[in-house]
Amino acid sequence: MTLCPLVLAAGQGSRFGVGSKLLAELGGRPVLGRVFDRLREAGLEAGFVAVPDDAERFAALKPLIPAGFEAVILPPQPMGMGVSLAALAARVRPGEAALMVMGDQPLLTQAALAALLEHQSGERIARLCCGEQAGHPVLFPNRFVPALRTLSGDEGPRALLQQHGYQRVEVDDPLVLCDVDTPEALKHLQAYV
């Protein structure tokens, strides 16, 4: 079974304040660039990335998107995780599993991704977890891709996860819980690079 990464990078990032959290520097590399670096290290060199229909933002993000990833431009309204994920899932080929990746999670490790990818041929949704908390990415076997295509709004796949449950892929790595939503979060992550 093949796996298609779906990178969510179209959100407004309003909690971050001035500037784009995806373009913020972390250890000399933009946050979104680090996400793609981790995917390539895990052997995931092709997929789709949701980007905003905003010429200025897209122009800034485009250099960070590797050649194997196709940008899916989303209209500014309505925006949300569900809308983004549905648009990306619509491009997944029959038989492919989908890996939902957050564009603002720059410090995923190769070990954590490898642990999750061991479950790509399974029948259950698999999700990275650390301790009692669930993190990202989330791996959806191909039988769930049609349900991802029906998502809307900002809810994302929460209802799907509640309905079907998921296999916890436990890693001793709190960074699977960390994203860059605020300048404080970015500052916290600086200690790890």
pLDDT of residue 18: 61
Extended beta strands in 31-87, E state: 47-52, 69-74
**pLDDT number for residue 170:** 95
Mean pLDDT by 10 residues, the chain (193 residues): 90 67 92 95 95 86 95 80 94 96 93 92 92 94 96 87 95 90 89 86
- Residue 81: its pLDDT value, please? 87
Residues 66, 146: Cα–Cα separation, whole Å? 26
pTM of the model as a whole: 0.94
Q: What does each C-alpha distance from 159 to 61, 151, 156, 176 come to in angstroms?
A: 30, 10, 8, 21
Residue 78 is predicted with a pLDDT of: 64
For residue 78, is the peptide bond before it cis, meaning its omega torsion is within 30 degrees of 0?
Answer: yes
Tokens read off for 12: 């407004």
3-190 is classed in which CATH architecture? Alpha-Beta Complex (3.90)
**Amino acid letter at 59?**
A
User: What is the Cα–Cα distance from 103 to 13, expressed in whole angstroms?
Assistant: 11
pLDDT of residue 15: 65
